Every structure is written in C-alpha cells, then in structure tokens.
Amino acid sequence: MATERLSMRKTREILRQRLALGRAHRAIGASVGLGVSTVGSTVRRAAAAKLTWPEIEALSDGELEARLYPAAHAAAAPVRAVPDWATIHAERRRPGVTMELLHLEYLQREPGGYRYSWFCHEYALWLKRRGATMRQVHRAGEKLFVDYAGKRPCIWDGTTGEKVDVELFVAVLGASNLTYAEATRTQRGPDWIASHVRAFRFFGGVPEAVVPDQLRSGVSSPCRYEPGIQRTYEELAAHYNTTVLPARPAHPRDKAKVEVAVQIAERWILARLRNETHYTLDSLNERIAELLEELNARTMRVYRTSRTALFEKIERQALRPLPAAAFTYGEWKVARINIDYHVEVDGHYYSVPFALMHDRAAVDVRFTASTVEIFRLGQRVASHARSYARGTHTTVIEHMPKSHQQHAQWTPSRIVSWAATIGPQTRELVETILAARAHPEQGYRSCLGIIRLGRVHGNDRLEAACARGVAIGARSYRQVESILRAGLDRAPLPTTAEPAKPVIDHENLRGPNYYN
C-alpha cells in the first residue's frame, strides 16, 4: 500500500531514530505519531537510496525529498496472508514461546509474509480490540517519565509579604524509580526545557525515550494518534540523542510511573514543606534537594531496596552518556524576508543573503539569548549575534548587493585618501567638508560627488576648481560643480588681502596718542 508523502521534518526524525538510534519501527511510529507501515516505508526508501544518517544530515530538504521520492513509482506490494491472531495469542501463553519465535514460524508457512515490526504492531491492535491489557515492563535505561504535580509549592515575597505559587516538576526513571523534583516559576517553554537539562544532569545520563504528558510546552498539537512535538523540545531530544514519546490523552497507564511519582513527591516533599517559609526559589530548591535525597534513600516495599541502590545496580550503566555541552534553549519563529533583505526578531532586523530577497517562501528563525540563526529549507543561511536594540539593523557586508557593499565600505579616511590622488587642493576641500558636518557620514555624498566630477571634467580642472573652492570657502558639491560649469577654474584665483601701504609721516597727522 502506498505511503502518504511525509513532511521532511518527520521524515528526518524517523530516519534519525532508526539509523542513528537503532530504534524499532513500532517505537518510532509511537514517537512521531505515525503507523508502523509508514515508518517502514520511509526506512526502506532510505535503504533503497543507500543513504546513511551523516549523508542525510548534509542534504537539504529538497535534496532529501528527491532522493527518497524519485519520479518512477514502485510496483504495488503483493497481497500477504494475515496471521490467525487467536492462535498466535493462545501459543504465546505457552512457556518459552516469544513473539520472535511465532513470527519465524509464520514466515515458514508464508515466506512472503509481513515483517516483524508489522507483526507485533497488528498483534497489539488485535489485543486492544479484545480489551486485553498488557502489563508494562520497563527496561533499564529505556524511559524517563516527566510531569508537573497538581499541588503547587509556594514562596513568599520578602517585600510585600505576598504568597507566590510556583510549579513542581517531577521526573522518574522507569526501571529503578529514581526520582528527581524541582520547583520552577512556570510551566512555560524555558522552564520546561531547563528542568529536563537539570534532570539529565541529576541522573548522570540520558534514557532512550522521554515520556511527557501532552503539555503545551512539549507538545504543540495534542492528539492521540499524531501528536506534534514542540520544535525546541524536538531539538532537545536530538541534542541528547533520545526521543520524545508523548503519552496518549486519557491514558493514564501510559505514564503510570510519573503519576505515582507525583503522588509520592506530594506526600514526602510538599507535605513536609507545608510549615516552612522560603523567600526565594533557590532556597526552596535547596530544601527540596534534601528531601529528595531522603526519598530516594527510602526502602521500597515491593523491591525491598531503595531507589538509589536499585539505580546504581541496574540503571546507571544503561543510560546513554551526557553530551559534552548542555542544551541551550532557543525559540523558533517563521519569518518573511523584507524588501531590504532583513528579517525581524523582537523589533531588531537581521540580514540574509540578498539573493533570497525575492524568494516568497518563509524562513525559519532560531534565536537564543546570544545568537540568531536563519534557516531556509533546513539549511542555515545566516547567523548573527543577538541584539536587543529595537528598530536597528545587524547587517553582514557579504549579504548586500555589490552596489550596496561599496557604499557601506566608505569611511572618512578612505574618502580623503581617494581625494588625495587627485591633488592636495581636492583633499583639503574634502577634509574641510567632512569636518564641517556634525557627523562625517552627512558629508559622504557631497565628497563622492566632487570626486566623481573628475570623470566629466578631468582631474586637472577638478583640482583647480577645488583650489578656488578652498579660496572662497566653498562647502558643497553644488559650489564646485558651478565653478566648473562657469569655467571659473581657469580664471586667476582671487586675492585674499591687499598689500600693506607705507605709513605717511606728516606734521598735520595727530596720531593715536593725540586722544589720550
């Protein structure tokens, strides 16, 4: 059956989880909200194209789509025999019988049958239709469950005495039940992501999957079948080499671990804080860390050991290592390129290559506290240091057209140097014009216009005109142009002062002392 063409973001996530993480098709399908057959078809297309994950990372969205969906259509898949699920279910109850063995026997009867991932997926669907429930078995290092507590701790404003409610983030590992908790100001994106980063650091490693509730900070479009992962959360998962597997709405069994962990945190942490007063979030979290250490050291009745001891025994070594650098929170927005080849982020404008100016497609912008990155079809086209000055521009010279680059590169020293190649009088006039302006940039156009008059009238005439301009106090392009147009550059220069006349000595001249 032909598979619906996917967005390149989902295609890349499927291939990353399969080729880079080695996850099973069913697990990938549950993570990205797609059927196993769709996942399998995407993986088969990549295999047919002989693509590896490093090669896929280097391809743009358009190149990847061309490799995965060539013009020629594959032949329709042959009809395959569907297993007798009732017999499969009965056989599975027998000691030592596994799904892998049953699938092998099915292929011996039907050599052209379905693959193992489809076999398991369809069996699970058959069980759901029968109302059967499979008990969850959590492997070490497999899942981390995360959620916020329903009850909220609080801090007190030391100035106003006002009570300020805050949030309690809780994370628990599936196999060992080791629990992490901390208080945050809000449940919004920056706090949500920062809590994950601190939780990974607390555990000293990363699980194969993170299971959140369908909270808006992590899931952009809640849905039972196809939840959309918030983009920054998706980036976090890629940075830590894990995957996000949202729990289904109204299915508490999907996150039963964290539901229980939240109850325990409320009873063993929040209840003990009820008579304590904290004025800062740091003070509250220091106290929560103390209570958390006691909680993880308590002996669990079922396991007859503590969470910490069980974690050290079975789960620490199963976690994936932390990356060298912690994840940096960044937000995403879709932007249009303005006519001046800039895009806007929080009132500031950042340049992109001017060739994209007439591209009607939108670009993706990722901005952190220190950087702004602009992407077109999955490829980064510009990167800038973040600026918080509203209404101003950050422009890279290489992004400008050649004509704009030449204008942007003018400086007072460069203009004076060019004027000096014509002559000392031209240089003197240019220096005088630049010095007369409150800002030298205000005299750029006038000076450039004067220098370019040499192309029309010749440098010798321009030098003579500038000499007359200096003599008469000219301060503009129009005055020099008028001198050349009237031919006054060929006339003698005006005399600036009359020669001193000899003093006449006569008896009738009173002199200055007469009036003393």
Token pair for 92: 């599975």
Other Cβ atoms within 10 Å of 146 Cβ, number: 25
Ramachandran class of 346: left when φ > 0, alpha when ψ lies in -120 to 50, beta otherwise: left
- Asked if residues 130 and 305 have their Cβ atoms less than 8 Å apart, the reply is no
- DSSP-derived pairing of the beta strands 209-212 and 143-148: parallel
Of 484, 476, 479, 427, the closest CA to residue 458 belongs to 484
- Asked if residues 372 and 347 have their Cβ atoms less than 8 Å apart, the reply is no
Q: What is the pLDDT of residues 437-467, one digit of tens each?
A: 765 656 777 888 888 898 889 999 999 999 9
Arithmetic mean of pLDDT over the chain: 80
Band (pLDDT 50/70/90 cuts) for residue 82 is confident
> What pLDDT is recorded for position 293?
92
The CATH number, out of the four listed (3.40.640.10, 3.40.50.800, 3.30.420.10, 1.10.10.10), of the domain defined by the range 143-318: 3.30.420.10
What DSSP letter does each residue of 245-265 carry, written as one string? -PPPTT-GGGGHHHHHHHHHH
Q: What is the pLDDT of residues 53-70, one digit of tens each?
A: 888 888 888 788 888 887
Residues 252/28/53/216 CA torsion (nearest 10 deg): -40
- Asked if residues 213 and 200 have their Cβ atoms less than 8 Å apart, the reply is no
| Alpha carbon distance 331, 233 (integer Å) | 10
Band (pLDDT 50/70/90 cuts) for residue 234 is confident
SS3 91: helix
Q: Which residue has the tokens 């932390």?
A: 322
Q: What is the CB-side half-sphere exposure of residue 53 using CA atoms within 13 A?
A: 11
- Helix/strand/coil percentages in the chain, nearest 5: 45, 15, 40
Of 15, 60, 7, 63, the closest CA to residue 376 belongs to 60
SS3 226: coil
Q: Which residues contact 362 (CB under 8 A, 6 or more apart)?
A: 334, 335, 336
Q: What is the pLDDT of residues 302-351, one digit of tens each?
A: 677 888 998 898 888 889 999 998 888 888 888 888 877 788 888 888 88
Residues 347/353/359/362 CA torsion (nearest 10 deg): -40
Stretch among 297-311, 417-431, 456-470 having the lowest mean pLDDT: 297-311
| Alpha carbon distance 446, 491 (integer Å) | 24
Q: In degrees rounded to 5, what are phi and psi of residue 165?
A: -75, 140
Map 330-351 to HEC letters.
CEEEEECCCCCCEEEECCEEEE
Burial per residue of 352-368, b for 16 or more beta-carbon CB atoms within 10 angstroms, e otherwise:
bbbebeeeeeebbbbbe
- Asked if residues 332 and 360 have their Cβ atoms less than 8 Å apart, the reply is no
- Asked if residues 307 and 177 have their Cβ atoms less than 8 Å apart, the reply is yes
How wide is the angle at C-alpha 191 spanned by C-alphas 185 and 194, nearest 5°? 135
Per domain, the residue ranges of the chain are: 8-68, 85-130, 143-318, 331-406, 410-490
In what helix (H) or strand (E) does residue 464 lie, and over which residues does it extend?
A: helix 459-472
Q: Does the pLDDT of residue 74 top 60, yes or no?
A: no
Q: Does the pLDDT of residue 363 top 70, yes or no?
A: yes
| Alpha carbon distance 354, 351 (integer Å) | 8
Token pair for 284: 């509250």
| Alpha carbon distance 207, 110 (integer Å) | 37
> What pLDDT is recorded for position 68?
83
How many Å separate Cα 103 from the centre of its chain?
43
Of 232, 239, 206, 230, the closest CA to residue 329 belongs to 232
DSSP 52: -
Mean pLDDT of 105-117: 86
Mean pLDDT of 482-494: 88
**Residues β-bridged to residue 164:** 155
**Which amino acid is located at 50 in the chain?**
K
> What pLDDT is recorded for position 1?
35
- DSSP-derived pairing of the beta strands 331-335 and 342-345: unpaired
SS3 301: coil
Alpha helices (runs of H) in 266-394, residue ranges in sequence order: 281-297, 307-310
